[in-house]
């Protein structure tokens, strides 16, 4: 049990920190030290350092010898490139799926049919659940081709855009549009209408990109406004807690 404890603590620190980055409780540009964070979490620095290194590898944090750890600024130019890469991979996957002629070629899509072709009355409205299902939809399309290299590339892109992509489902209209557009893509693939599926899919991804970009800018603006108020109200608090954005990490 003692041997597994550091790993469990590191995982707990990782999950909590990543949640706060994704939900903008830790904002781009925020800085903190391992010591401050360990004290806040009630852990030693070893599991905290492991969690921070893992988040840095995923592109969420950066570290400098003198200034400690920093939440990386959002790079919309990079996000555009990642979205472009995602489009290339997914369109290639759709074309490949439409070409497969084995009797069970579309078997991996059965679960997607159950979810995205369900009656309107059975559609989910919980934004977190829909976001998870949306990610699974796009990943499944690529995985169903059987090309493991392409699937791995797509997964890496998915990880890097998740911080803003999940915001797409804070709007009920976007949830409804996602259901409709996913259904069109699926029906086209099942009927082997590759070009129509590609047109709908490309438009769907572009609409999502534009939506999350606008939402992200707005959310960051609100978060900065709120953090400014918190900074004034809690000027005597420790540096890490001064803005109130680390409250969810308190043990």
Domain around 43: 5-73
Cβ proximity of 140 and 150 under 8 Å: no
Residues 119 and 172 in one domain: yes
pLDDT at 200: 98
Element (H, E) at 139: helix 127-143
CATH code of the domain covering residue 161: 1.20.120.530
The yes-or-no verdict on residue 229 having pLDDT over 80 is no
pLDDT at 149: 98
196 domain residue, yes or no: yes
Percent of the chain with pLDDT over 70: 84
The yes-or-no verdict on residue 99 having pLDDT over 90 is yes
Residues 69 and 87 in one domain: no
Q: Looking at the 3D structure of the chain, how many domains does it have?
A: 2
Residues 52 and 28 in one domain: yes
Cβ contacts of 186-192, under 8 Å, gap ≥ 24: 186/109, 186/112, 186/113, 186/116, 186/117, 187/117, 188/98, 189/94, 189/97, 189/98, 189/106, 189/109, 189/141, 190/106, 190/109, 190/113, 192/98, 192/99
The yes-or-no verdict on residue 240 having pLDDT over 80 is no
42 domain residue, yes or no: yes
The answer for 68, left when phi > 0, alpha when psi is -120 to 50, beta otherwise, is: left
pLDDT at 228: 56
The yes-or-no verdict on residue 233 having pLDDT over 90 is no
Residues 105 and 204 in one domain: yes
Residues 69 and 82 in one domain: no
Residues 106 and 201 in one domain: yes
More reliable by pLDDT, 169 or 137: 137
The yes-or-no verdict on residue 130 having pLDDT over 50 is yes
Please choose, from the candidates 213, 206, 205, the residue with its C-alpha nearest in 3D space to the C-alpha of residue 137. Answer: 205
- DSSP states of 39-80 as a string? HHHT--HHHHHHHHHHHHHTTSEEEETTTEEEEPPP-HHHHH
CATH code of the domain covering residue 50: 1.10.10.10
pLDDT at 226: 64
Residues 210 and 104 in one domain: yes
Q: Match 């009927």 to its residue by tokens.
A: 191
- The residues near 58 (Cβ < 8 Å, ≥ 6 apart) are 18, 159, 160
Q: Cβ of 138: how many Cβ atoms within 10 Å?
A: 23
Tens digits of per-residue pLDDT, 203-227? 999 998 888 888 777 667 666 666 5
Residues 166 and 208 in one domain: yes
Tens digits of per-residue pLDDT, 171-182? 789 999 999 999
Residues 63 and 98 in one domain: no
pLDDT band at 190 (very low <50, low <70, confident <90, very high): very high
Cβ proximity of 205 and 90 under 8 Å: yes
Q: What are the tokens at 223?
A: 């978060």
């Amino acid at each position: 049990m003692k041997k597994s404890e550091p790993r469990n603590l590191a995982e707990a620190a990782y999950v909590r920190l990543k949640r706060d980055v994704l939900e903008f409780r830790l904002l781009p540009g925020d800085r903190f030290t391992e010591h401050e964070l360990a004290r806040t979490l009630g852990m030693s620095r070893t599991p905290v350092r492991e969690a921070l290194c893992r988040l840095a590898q995923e592109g969420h944090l950066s570290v400098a010898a003198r200034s400690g750890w920093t939440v990386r600024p959002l790079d919309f130019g990079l996000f555009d490139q990642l979205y472009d890469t995602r489009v290339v991979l997914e369109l290639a996957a759709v074309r490949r799926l439409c070409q497969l002629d084995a009797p069970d070629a579309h078997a991996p899509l059965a679960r997607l049919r159950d979810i995205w072709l369900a009656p309107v009355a059975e559609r989910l409205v919980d934004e977190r659940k829909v976001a998870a299902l949306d990610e699974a939809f796009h990943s499944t399309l690529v995985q169903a081709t059987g090309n493991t290299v392409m699937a791995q590339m797509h997964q890496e892109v998915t990880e890097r855009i998740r911080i803003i992509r999940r915001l797409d489902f804070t709007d009920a209209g976007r949830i409804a549009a996602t259901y409709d557009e996913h259904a069109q893509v699926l029906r086209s693939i099942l009927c082997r209408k590759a070009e129509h599926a590609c047109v709908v899919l490309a438009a769907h991804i572009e609409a999502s990109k534009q939506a999350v970009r606008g939402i992200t800018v707005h959310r960051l603006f609100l978060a900065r406004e709120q953090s400014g108020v918190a900074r004034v109200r809690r000027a005597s608090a420790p540096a890490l807690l001064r803005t109130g954005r680390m409250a969810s990490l308190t043990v």
